[in-house]
Structure 1
Amino acid sequence: MSIERADLQCDRCDLVTEHELHYAGRLLESVRCTRCGHHIGLTQRALVPAYLHDLEHRVASKPQRLYQRAARDPRGFLTALPGAILRQPGKFAREFWSLLRR
Structure 2
Amino acid sequence: MSPSIDPETAAALERVRDRLIDRYLGTDPNVTGVGIGFRTRGGERTDEPAVVVGVVEKLPAGHVPRGRLLPRAVRDGGTEWAVDVVQTGRILLTRSPGAAAR
TM-score normalised per structure 1: 0.26
1 or 2, which has the higher strand percentage? 2
Kindly name which structure, 1 or 2, has the bigger radius of gyration based on alpha carbons.
1
1 or 2, which has the higher helix percentage? 1
Higher-RCO chain (CA-CA 8 Å, sequence separation at least 6)? 2
